[in-house]
Amino acid sequence: MVPRADDLDGYDNATVYEDSTVVRVSIRRTDSDAYPSGWRYTFHYGALSAGSETLDDGTIRRYDNAHEDTNGHELHVAPNPEPETIDFPGIEELYERFWDEVPKPRFGPSDETSDTHD
C-alpha cells in the first residue's frame, strides 16, 4: 500500500543491513521559507563506510532537499560527486521512486515489519 502524505509526515527510520548498507528515510512537513515545497526530506541508501562505490559520506543514492531554497531538490548518485537537480513530483511519488530504485526491502509508516533485515 502506498502511504499518503499524511502518513509520511513525521516519519523517520533507519535500517542497517548485514552487508553494511543502510537505508534512512526522514520526512516532515514544514512551513520554513527554506523549504518552498512544504517538505523537508531525505531518502538515503548508502554504506556504513565510504569506499570506491560511494560518495565521501557513504552515499550510494540519495534524494534530499537540504538546500531547497538555493539548490532545489537533488539526487546524489555515486560515484558522481555532483548532485543532479530534479523536479519535485510530490512527496508520495518521490518516496515510491526511491523504493523502486534501491535494492533493499521496503519499510515505511504503514509497515509493521520496518526492522526486517536481509
Q: Which helix (H) or strand (E) holds 68?
A: helix 68-71
* Residue 43 within any structural domain of the chain: yes
Burial letters 48-84, b for 16+ CB under 10 A, else e: eeeeeebbeebbbbbbbbeebeeeebbbbbbeeeebe
* Residue 78 within any structural domain of the chain: yes
* Residue 110 within any structural domain of the chain: no
Structural domain harbouring 77: 5-101
Q: Give residue 116's pLDDT.
A: 41
Q: Give residue 113's pLDDT.
A: 40
Model's pTM, two decimal places? Answer: 0.90
Spans of the chain below 50 pLDDT: 112-118
Number of domains in the chain: 1
Let me know how long the chain is. 118
